[in-house]
Amino acid sequence: MNKFLLTLGSVALIASIQSCKMKTTDAVVAGDAAQKVYVAPGKYDEFYNFVSGGFSGQVSVYGLPSGRLLKVIPVFSVFPENGYGYSEETKAMLNTTNGLVPWDDQHHLELSQTNGNYDGRWLFANANNTPRVARIDLTTFKTVEILQIPNSAGNHSSPFITENSEYLVAGTRFSVPLGDADVPISSFKKNFKSTASFVSIDKNSGHMKIAFQIVLPGMNLDLSHAGKGPSHDWFFFSCYNTEQAYTLLEVNASQKDKDFIVAVNWEKAEEYAKAGKGHKVATAYAHNTYDESTQTATSTIEKEVLELDPKDCPDMVYMIPCPKSPHGTDVDPTGEYIVGSGKLAALIPVFSFSKIIKAIQDKQFEGAFYGIPVIKYEAALHGEVKKPGLGPLHTEFDGKGNAYTSMFLSSEIVKWRLSDLQVLDRKPTFYSTGHLMVPGGDTRNPYGKYLVAYNKITKDRYLPTGPELCQSAQLFDISGDKMQMLLDFPTIGEPHYGQAIPASMLKDKQVKFYDINKNHNEYVTMGEKKANVIRKGNRVDVYMTAIRSHLVPDNIEGVFVGDQVYFHVTNLEQDWDVPHGFAVKNSTSVDLLIMPGETLTMKFDANKQGIYPFYCTDFCSALHQEMSGYLRVSAKGSNVPLKFGTGVVAPETASK
Amino acid sequence: MVMLPVQHYHFYSTNMKKLTIPGKVSIILVILFLTTLWVFPMWRIDLRAPQYPGGLSMKIWISDVKGDVDIINGLNHYIGMKTIHKKDFPEFIFLPAAIMIFMGLGIVVLILNRKVSYYIWTFVFAILGIFSFYDFYKWEYNYGHNLDPTAPIKVPGMSYQPPLLGYKKLLNFEVLSQPDIAGWFYIGAGVLLVAITIYEWKKSLAK
């Protein structure tokens, strides 16, 4: 009997060892996951998921729940694939005060909002490295505006947006001296500042303008979110490095128990700006706009910005202590709760907006940071989520009173309840989630249903591809009490934040092609009969048309070494999905991808004598291979007349 | 009042040749049906190919050709078919003129109030209808057979005449040719004319 018990005991022991093994996806993926993500051929996804491209500088668009990549929208980086940033029409989009900056680090996205809900008009994107914000038109999925942010560096807490798209913000992560002051790095405390720029968005045109910049002490503004409903007037920024370290931040910026959430009353700031409490400061920043009618971008250098100093503007800025270098600062759909995610903390503080207001009224301050009142932690606190996991980074909401927080260190998503701060569920992620995203999760009315975790570490998720791996996202079903993992999908660049909008809000308003009659490009060729080649000095303008399956002109002679040839190619097609490409042999520029009804220009430097074939690079028809031509570049000073045409056969060839 | 029986008799005697109430109403209806030719297209040719999931559609109106004509023209150059242009169709001038004259004749028939004129009117319509279809067929034949000898794609023995009515497969395209709204009204007018002609004929025999 004893022997039997002993045997039974060891079996139980071995069984318990088995059950102690680490969790893998095998353990978390349930049976019907495949059905939930299967979008049959010919069927559409439920959501457009816009995902930031991180170090790719672009924005990618995925379908949910399939996780299929639908498009990469070029925003802050040149895009040889379609000529963005290379064509004469689009070069100006990437202009800055330092000339054309061909790359950036794109972190966060925000859809335009009306009454705290997505309205499907525009998508805004930030550039972290060379501070800029961009606007993307959601009828063409094209970048139509880029605005540089002066007096800033590390434009990270951007482009978060107010409930009616009144403003988007741009906050400094790497404090810098204002202007171009040459100061010792060690004078950080004295000379370095962070700024919170408020960029107004025109209701009708979407045009962006820096309304004012709030000058804050030198520290690192990290993320932000606007209030909603009762907290409509406020914007909340998380910050770290209130230690004001300027070297080895890893250690030196992680010393304090608490950093801050900076609460900015932007309605008040707007009043101060109107009342002349700010001062205009000379500066320079590029403002680039793409004109739909001329299909051409122009860059203007703005010369002035309005600065607001909290010292001159009482009741405009408050600080709320927040544990351990907070990252996400997220406002729940009711606008009452503000969730700070201290990335080095073992708890999640949840602040109450009504308590914050009461604390301000009762002057419950524990001191001041560079003259800015610091509200007592307990006075602002709704409560803390205890033991949620390790490394909370970012929180979104489902509109049913629940919050979802990504845990970088413990690599999981944690679901908890806003009212009593109880943890309800946790699911592992593979691996180390940064941001997460619930469709509409940052609005007043989240769509819920799904959650996407954008993971920072990939390791063994897919077939290995050498040392450099794609990034990985994971889709969860959050419609039930417990979260269910559905899908892994690879992503481009490094996704940080994302936004998702129901497909029905965008799919029927997509532009299918440009009306050729509304093409006001300076170099448009309205029909093959207008095709032309014009020489002015050493500049040669080729007015070329493309239609299936020929280019006019397709023979060009009389171009000499040293000439600059501008190929202005107009796609005469007026049908959906008939782009033509254009490339010239040995061109140091790149491909043009010209949509129906559009005109794009490639500059070709004729550096060497020779015959240069050019051709359509986008397979357009059964006779696509025939859609080609020749440019003859002759030695300088040779006697070759300017000649061009299509279908003209020389008599000596014809007679044969 | 004394004359009533005489008048009564007279009424019956002429009624043998006069139109019945349904006959008169039908004239108004036929004219109304034909006016739809100026409001709706009369014929449509729908094309479908794998590359055109939404399909292409050419709509023939009494005096115009609309729909995806530019796209169809662009496609047809591969096989050397002529491009379709409104100005190449004299039909767009004489067909509306003929229909208008026919509608005017209807008013005359109504005023004359004679069965015989109604029969003639129906006969004119039949001629008009047959001629229209013959003309349409002839155009389709030429359109499908007169191909540019330098066309890039030549399929031996292949012609591209669209169907007069119904379905046909032409290379990668499926083609469906059928009346559109005004076309159905036109057909309705024809059916009505024939039906009333028979009705009037039977009425005259019955007396």
Residues of A near B (CB-CB distance < 8 A)? 547-549, 573-575, 621-623, 626
B76 to chain A: which residues are within 8 Å by CB? Answer: none
A573 to chain B: which residues are within 8 Å by CB? Answer: 74
Instruction: Report the residue of B71, B76, B148 to disrupt the A interface, i.e. the one with the largest count of A CBs within 10 Å.
Output: B71
- Inter-chain residue contact A623 with B71, CB threshold 8 Å: no
- Inter-chain residue contact B71 with A548, CB threshold 8 Å: no
Q: Does A26 score more than 90 pLDDT?
A: no
**Per-state percent for chain B, helix, strand, coil, to nearest 5:** 60, 15, 25
Q: What is the pLDDT of residue A8?
A: 57
- Alpha-helical (H) ranges within A456-535 are none
Q: Does A220 score more than 70 pLDDT?
A: yes
Q: What is the pLDDT of residue B4?
A: 45
Q: Does A136 score more than 80 pLDDT?
A: yes
- Inter-chain residue contact B152 with A626, CB threshold 8 Å: yes
Q: What is the pLDDT of residue A655?
A: 54
Which of A548, A622, A626 has the CB atom closest to B74's CB atom? A548
What's the average model confidence in pLDDT over A624-640? 96
Q: Does B10 score more than 70 pLDDT?
A: no
What's the average model confidence in pLDDT over A257-284? 96
- Inter-chain residue contact B78 with A573, CB threshold 8 Å: no
Q: Does A407 score more than 80 pLDDT?
A: yes
Q: What is the pLDDT of residue A30?
A: 72
Q: What is the pLDDT of residue B188?
A: 96
Whether residue B70 lies within 8 A of chain A, CB to CB, comes out as yes
Mean pLDDT (chain A) is 94
Instruction: Report the residue of A513, A515, A620, A621 to disrupt the B interface, i.e. the one with the largest count of B CBs within 10 Å.
Output: A621
pLDDT for A289-315, tens place per residue?
999 999 999 999 999 999 999 999 999
- Inter-chain residue contact B71 with A621, CB threshold 8 Å: no
Q: Which CATH superfamily is domain A516-654 in?
A: Cupredoxins -  blue copper proteins (2.60.40.420)
Q: How confident is the model at residue B53 (pLDDT cuts 50, 70, 90)?
A: confident
Q: Tally Cβ neighbours within 10 Å of residue B86.
A: 12
Amino acid symbol at A342: G
Q: What residue in A sits closest to B74 (Cα-Cα)?
A: A548
Whether residue B50 lies within 8 A of chain A, CB to CB, comes out as no
Q: Does A529 score more than 80 pLDDT?
A: yes
Q: In 3D, which of B73, B71, B65, B84 has the Cα closest to residue A577?
A: B71
Using alpha carbons only, what angle is made at residue A212 by residues A153 and A318, rounded to the nearest 5 degrees? 80
Q: In 3D, which of B76, B95, B88 has the Cα closest to residue B135?
A: B95
Q: What is the pLDDT of residue B12?
A: 47
Q: Domain-by-domain residue ranges, chain A?
A: 51-509, 516-654
pLDDT for B21-42, tens place per residue?
999 999 999 999 999 999 999 9
Instruction: Report the residue of B77, B83, B173 to disrupt the A interface, i.e. the one with the largest count of A CBs within 10 Å.
Output: B77
DSSP A542-593: EEEEEETTEEES-EEEEEETT-EEEEEEEE---STT--EEEEETT-SS--EE
A597 to chain B: which residues are within 8 Å by CB? Answer: none
Q: What is the pLDDT of residue B8?
A: 44
Q: Does B51 score more than 90 pLDDT?
A: no
Identify the weakest region by mean pLDDT among A112-116, A125-129, B154-158.
B154-158
Q: Which residue has the higher pLDDT, A650 or A314?
A: A314
Token pair for B89: 């169709």
What's the average model confidence in pLDDT over B140-146? 92
Mean pLDDT (chain B) is 89
- Inter-chain residue contact A622 with B78, CB threshold 8 Å: yes
Q: How confident is the model at residue A622 (pLDDT cuts 50, 70, 90)?
A: confident
pLDDT for A334-392, tens place per residue?
999 999 998 888 899 999 999 999 999 999 999 999 999 999 999 999 999 999 999 99
Strand bridging mode A296-308 / A208-217 = parallel
- Inter-chain residue contact B78 with A623, CB threshold 8 Å: yes
Q: What is the pLDDT of residue B6?
A: 44
Q: Which CATH superfamily is domain A51-509 in?
A: YVTN repeat-like/Quinoprotein amine dehydrogenase (2.130.10.10)
Which of B70, B78, B152 has the CB atom closest to A574's CB atom? B70
CB A519 within 8 A of CB A296: no
A547 to chain B: which residues are within 8 Å by CB? Answer: 74
Q: Does A533 score more than 90 pLDDT?
A: yes
- Inter-chain residue contact A623 with B152, CB threshold 8 Å: yes
Question: How far does the CA of residue A575 sit from the closest CA of chain B (Å)?
Answer: 7
Question: Which residues does A288 contact at the CB level (< 8 Å), separation at least 6?
Answer: A92, A93, A94, A95, A145, A146, A147, A297, A298, A299, A300
Q: What is the pLDDT of residue A641?
A: 96
Query: How far does Cα A159 stand from its chain's mean position?
Result: 8
Q: How far is Cα B13 from Cα A75, in angstroms, rounded to an integer?
A: 89
Q: Is A215 helix (H, G, I), strand (E, B) or coil?
A: strand
Q: Does A426 score more than 70 pLDDT?
A: yes
Q: How far is Cα B118 from Cα B189, in angstroms, rounded to an integer?
A: 13
- Inter-chain residue contact B74 with A575, CB threshold 8 Å: yes
Q: How confident is the model at residue A159 (pLDDT cuts 50, 70, 90)?
A: very high
pLDDT for A81-105, tens place per residue?
999 999 999 999 999 999 999 999 9
Q: What residue in B sits closest to A622 (Cα-Cα)?
A: B78
CB A220 within 8 A of CB A253: yes
Q: How confident is the model at residue A652 (pLDDT cuts 50, 70, 90)?
A: confident
Q: What is the pLDDT of residue B157?
A: 85
Report yes or no for ipTM above 0.95. Answer: no
Question: How far does the CA of residue B71 sit from the closest CA of chain A (Å)?
Answer: 7
- Inter-chain residue contact B74 with A622, CB threshold 8 Å: no
What's the average model confidence in pLDDT over A630-638? 97
Q: What is the pLDDT of residue A388?
A: 94
Q: Tally Cβ neighbours within 10 Å of residue A276.
A: 9
Q: Does A252 score more than 80 pLDDT?
A: yes
Token pair for A144: 């139509």
Which of B71, B78, B152 has the CB atom closest to A575's CB atom? B71
Question: Which residues does B29 contact at the CB level (< 8 Å), separation at least 6?
Answer: B189, B192
Whether residue B78 lies within 8 A of chain A, CB to CB, comes out as yes
Q: Which residue has the higher pLDDT, A25 or A442?
A: A442
Burial class (CB in 10 A: 0-12, 13-18, 19+), A491: buried
Q: What residue in B sits closest to A548 (Cα-Cα)?
A: B74
pLDDT for A467-508, tens place per residue?
999 999 999 999 999 999 999 999 999 999 999 999 999 999
pLDDT for A576-618, tens place per residue?
999 999 999 999 989 999 999 999 999 999 999 999 999 999 9
- Inter-chain residue contact A547 with B152, CB threshold 8 Å: no
Identify the weakest region by mean pLDDT among A136-145, A192-201, A250-259, A401-410.
A250-259
- Inter-chain residue contact A621 with B78, CB threshold 8 Å: yes
CB A290 within 8 A of CB A142: yes
Q: Does B145 score more than 60 pLDDT?
A: yes
Q: Give the global pTM.
A: 0.90
